[in-house]
Amino acid sequence: MSSRDYLIGIDVGGTFTDILCLEVQTQTLLEAKVPSLPGRQWEGVLNALKQLGIQANEVKAFVHGTTIATNALLEKKGANTSLITTKGFKDALEIGRTRRLIGGLFDIKFVRPKPLVSRPLRVEVPERMTADGEVLDDLAGFDFQKLALWLEAQGVEAVAVCFVNSYANDKTERFAAEQLQELLNMPVCFSTGVVAEQGEFHRFSTCVLNAYLTPVVREYLETLSTELKENGVRAPVNIMGSNGGAMTLDQAGAFAVGTFLSGPVGGVGGAVRVCELAEVEDCITFDMGGTSTDVALIHQRRPRISHDNQIDAYPLQVPQLDIHTIGAGGGSIAWVQEDGTLEVGPKSAGALPGPACYGRGGVEPTISDANLYLGRLPTERTLSGGLQLSREASEEAFKSLADKLGGGDLVELADGVLRIAVAKMAGAVREVSVHRGFDPRDFALLGFGGAGPMHVFLVAEELAVPTVVVPRYPGHLSALGQLLADQRLDSVLAWGGKLTGLSDQDLSGRAAEMRSTASDTLSKNGFALEKQVFEFHADVRYSGQSYTLSVPFDDKHPSLNVIASSFGNMHEKTFGHQDLTSECEIVNLRLVALGLVNKPELNFASNSAGEMLIETREVWFAESWVNCPVYGREYFSGGQCLTGPAIIEEAGGTSVVPPDWKINVHRSGALICENPL
């Protein structure tokens, strides 16, 4: 019997796979970083486990973030999918809301993206449901056997059943899905089983996305589970969901669209914990890895949730953290556009061959090459994972780029690459703050990911943000968030109407049914009643409005008057006014059900004794070379104060602090840095 118990979080990124292990008895953290393996993500997970040398029977919990769903959609490698729908609605996916979802109104080159289901595979059936749930045609006598044989003959691999108005009554939709599932050896999804909300276009799109991705996600999860078991890992495996909580493998296999942001949401969860430890109330996360940069806003230590999303060109009507992603990472390639101007990203060198400085065959200059050439990364010491960087390779890559631009100073060129990247990343921060009604100067920027601490200070200066926070283990914060994740269930009920026609008792009864269903699921997943938490919201609007605001309410003592008052206050705060003459109406009831896991203390304060200063080297800042000290972060202790410029190195991340920034080491181990402005 092993004397050690490990809780494991693993984040598979586009370039690296990060693992963070907490040894429960001593609260000791172990970390590792290995290259991700495109097409064989599960193998990178196993490599990360092996690198730490942990015995299989010592693993007690395993939470994993994956990009499988995202990659499958972006690369259009999902299943050959068919849509079964109400007669007259086969083109709903193509018509949409008769407006452009991407590209902008004035893009003369705009081409409407093709639906994931080709028109020949969209099948109409004689079904009809009214908006109030009355069945007009229930498919009695319909030949499902004939339809199933036809689907198989067309090489269909997944089926989406989407009927109009099924949110009001899913009887016929559920019946059709059950009939087809009995006849077909493939996933069959029905729209109200994925999202039971009004609006056929968004509901159809979400269900089609789920069907399109389910075979790919299931195959990966089954392979991962099998490989872990064959390597002796018997601990339950959970998958991070886009809503910020964890899902069981079965839940993830049935709800593939819930895993789109599986990796980045872990970082947001880890950031919330860092804010608690470092006594920071509001922050904007800045998660920069090898392929992309993800940003999210955390207000009062709660990340924003969006229910109306879009992945690529496709609407996705499921709850997910409001994370904005751009193609700017350490591996983003600098290149020359047709008009002769310099551009950075979104194409990335990835894990293989990687940036030129990795020495793995890459020849194009990247953001990492720019940092190395400007002295911000070491050449004498290896990085996490034993990676030795080559300045000569970076220089050759920039010489090639300079030749395409007609010559020029290589230092200025590398600095220009960083300036372009910083401008793009600052734009992403504005997207989740200014565009949502928040001033980024009221928030701290929290930098993490393998490249986040290296660029977060430059982004802060671009936006005049006064405070930057760099947590311990910044390169593994997403894995930390997965390790800490509670299990989360989201459910929605399309119910309501004008408040004058509803009663508190009816609202209470509906909420009780939702709570009971969610509680049963959490209990089956091993969470005792005292470990279950429930949060209710009502989607409310003024009568005649198209959009709603989500208003929290107490399901034990619900009051429609309180909901109306809260909505008015929220409407005024959001839009600057409220209308006391208009009647309010409820559109949906929402429930977030959490199964709470035990949270470790996670005191990151360093107890290591040794010399902080590693070396002093020339580093390029703004317009000149500066003699800059390089520190080892493991020797920092709470209460210490330093002043930039400084390079701070640690496993999985390097912080580049510009001149005059004030660095304070918080007792939690986080660096709280103040901008001189």
Residue-wise pLDDT for 353-384, tens only, equals 889 998 888 899 999 999 999 999 988 877 76
Q: Is residue 284 part of a domain?
A: yes
Residues 336 and 408 in one domain: yes
Q: Region 79-100: what's the mean pLDDT?
A: 89
Residue-wise pLDDT for 467-513, tens only, equals 999 998 898 898 889 888 999 999 999 999 999 999 999 999 999 99
Q: Region 151-157: what's the mean pLDDT?
A: 96
Whether the ω angle into residue 676 lies within 30 degrees of 0, i.e. cis, is no
Structural domain range at position 288: 264-325+431-483
Share of the chain above pLDDT 90, in %: 61
The DSSP symbol for 300 reads T
Q: What are 62's two structure tokens?
A: 């395993």
pLDDT at position 603 is 65
Phi, psi of 401, rounded to the nearest 5 degrees:
-65, -40
Are 478 and 266 spatial neighbours (Cβ–Cβ below 8 Å)? yes
Q: Going by C-beta distance under 8 Å and a sequence separation of 6 or more, which residues neighbour residue 446?
A: 271, 274, 275, 280, 283, 284, 285, 286, 456, 468, 469, 470, 471
Average pLDDT of the chain? 90
pLDDT at position 605 is 64
Residues 84 and 204 in one domain: yes
Q: Does 57 or 366 have the greater pLDDT score? A: 366
The mean-pLDDT minimum among 75-79, 270-274, 308-312 falls in: 308-312
Beta bridge partners of 646: 657
Q: Is the pLDDT of residue 102 over 60?
A: no
Q: Region 99-108: what's the mean pLDDT?
A: 64
Residues 85 and 202 in one domain: yes
Residues 445 and 475 in one domain: yes
Structural Rg of the chain based on CA atoms: 26
Residue ending a domain, among 560, 595, 630, is 595
Q: Is residue 174 part of a domain?
A: yes
Residues 165 and 243 in one domain: no
Give the predicted TM-score (pTM) of the model: 0.87
Residues 531 and 661 in one domain: no
Q: Is residue 202 part of a domain?
A: yes
Q: Which CATH number is 199's domain given?
A: 3.40.1360
Residues 112 and 185 in one domain: yes
Q: Is residue 604 part of a domain?
A: no
- As a whole number of angstroms, the distance between CA 630 and CA 613 comes to 6
Residue-wise pLDDT for 9-19, tens only, equals 888 876 778 88
The mean-pLDDT minimum among 95-104, 186-195, 311-320 falls in: 95-104
Residues 30 and 43 in one domain: yes
Q: Is 104 exposed, middle or buried (0-12, 13-18, 19+ CB in 10 A)?
A: exposed
Give residue 3's pLDDT band: very low, low, confident or very high (50, 70, 90): low
- As a whole number of angstroms, the distance between CA 588 and CA 551 comes to 11
pLDDT at position 199 is 87
Instruction: Report residue 218 CA to chain centroid gap.
Output: 19
| Residue corresponding to tokens 């508190």 | 504
Q: Region 614-642: what's the mean pLDDT?
A: 92
Give residue 566's pLDDT band: very low, low, confident or very high (50, 70, 90): very high
Give residue 1's pLDDT band: very low, low, confident or very high (50, 70, 90): very low
Q: Is the pLDDT of residue 229 over 80?
A: yes
Give residue 117's pLDDT band: very low, low, confident or very high (50, 70, 90): very high
Q: How many domains does the chain have?
A: 6
- As a whole number of angstroms, the distance between CA 346 and CA 365 comes to 13
pLDDT at position 606 is 65
Residues 137 and 32 in one domain: no
Q: Is the pLDDT of residue 525 over 70?
A: yes
Q: Which CATH number is 46's domain given?
A: 3.30.420.40
Residues 81 and 191 in one domain: yes
pLDDT at position 544 is 86
Q: Is the pLDDT of residue 319 over 80?
A: yes
The mean-pLDDT minimum among 101-110, 197-206, 212-221, 406-415 falls in: 101-110
pLDDT at position 100 is 62
Residues 298 and 344 in one domain: no
The mean-pLDDT minimum among 57-61, 518-522, 542-546 falls in: 57-61
Q: Region 416-424: what's the mean pLDDT?
A: 95
Share of the chain above pLDDT 70, in %: 96
Q: Is 359 exposed, middle or buried (0-12, 13-18, 19+ CB in 10 A)?
A: middle
Residue-wise pLDDT for 585-623, tens only, equals 999 999 999 999 887 777 666 666 678 899 999 999 988
The pairing of beta strand 613-621 with beta strand 444-448: unpaired
Phi, psi of 244, rounded to the nearest 5 degrees:
95, 0
Q: Is residue 425 part of a domain?
A: no
Q: Is the pLDDT of residue 190 over 50?
A: yes
The mean-pLDDT minimum among 88-97, 152-161, 435-444 falls in: 88-97
Q: Region 651-657: what's the mean pLDDT?
A: 89
pLDDT at position 210 is 96
Residues 309 and 448 in one domain: yes
